[in-house]
Structure 1
């Protein structure tokens, strides 16, 4: 009987560790109090907002995708649990690594980076039918020549 108890205890511990992966969830933006971590502008255009959820559960907010990418350049990704950007069509939060991006110097964004996020590449291509731009893969955003705006 003692062996059975030890096996149950081991199984319980195993299940707890297997289920222990931390979920990093975005929070809603408060345009009255949230300020971009990079440019210190109020995050009033929440449809363009971005945020990073750090591994310690602190949240860092941004008014533009370009500011979020600047944060990653400055700080690296080691402390980031997840990062999110707003979908242009639905305003839902998208994981930055799963989104599809479109760039044009003519697109308006709060800090004039001109990169918009979409839930799928198909949605991005649909948008470009009436708003010419170029698809930019996530992997290229850290080295992307934004063309319109750069932080000094």
Structure 2
């Protein structure tokens, strides 16, 4: 009886751990973009989404992630993440980020798209580099 309880408890714990929706670190220089198959090297423009089952898909640019999302059931996604341009390597919640498209800030796939975790930072960079600001919802419409 004790053995059966242990097996059930262990099985439940395994299921709970295996379906955890959390960011997976991007290994710059070795991870490959899920959409275009390029090696992810730019720690200011990379992106990632995690399914509700806990599987992470990594991208070399925000535009690759946005293009990949066109063909997915959004109900399956648990987490959207983008690199903060002002804090290279830091993944932030993509749905709360501010986006700047500026011809003066190249991104890996040529859409000139960068994300910012702070609106003031985005506006400051926009004042220096030009471009247009977008919210997550406006960016989804654009792509």
Give the TM-score range, shorter chain: 0.7 to 0.9
| Aligned positions, number | 125
**Residue pair 1:73, 1:142 contacting (<8 A) in 2 also:** no
- Larger mean Cα displacement after TM superposition, 134-143 or 77-86: 134-143
Distance (whole Å) between structure 2 residues aligned to residue 135 and residue 32 of structure 1: 29
Q: Which residue, 113, 124, 127 being the options, matches 1:126?
A: 124
Give the match for residue 77 of structure 1: 74
Distance (whole Å) between structure 2 residues aligned to residue 86 and residue 128 of structure 1: 17
Please say if 1:30 is aligned against 2:66. Answer: no
**Residue pair 1:64, 1:113 contacting (<8 A) in 2 also:** no
CA deviation after TM superposition for structure 1 residue 23, in Å: 6.1
Please say if 1:103 is aligned against 2:107. Answer: no
CA deviation after TM superposition for structure 1 residue 140, in Å: 1.7
Q: Which residue, 12, 21, 40 being the options, matches 2:37?
A: 40
Give the match for residue 50 of structure 1: 47
Distance (whole Å) between structure 2 residues aligned to residue 32 and residue 117 of structure 1: 21
CA deviation after TM superposition for structure 1 residue 142, in Å: 2.3
Q: Deviations over 1:94-120 (max 9, x none)?
A: 111000111123321011111111112
- Secondary structure, counterpart of 1:69 in structure 2: helix
**Residue pair 2:83, 2:115 contacting (<8 A) in 1 also:** yes
The structure 1 segments of at least 4 consecutive aligned residues displaced by more than 4 Å after TM superposition are: none
The normalised TM-score by structure 1 is 0.75
The normalised TM-score by structure 2 is 0.80
**Residue pair 2:104, 2:112 contacting (<8 A) in 1 also:** yes
**Residue pair 2:21, 2:53 contacting (<8 A) in 1 also:** no
RMSD: 1.8
For the pair shown, the structure with the greater C-alpha radius of gyration is 1
Distance (whole Å) between structure 2 residues aligned to residue 73 and residue 56 of structure 1: 19
Task: Flag structure 2 segments of 5+ consecutive residues without an equivalent.
Answer: 1-15
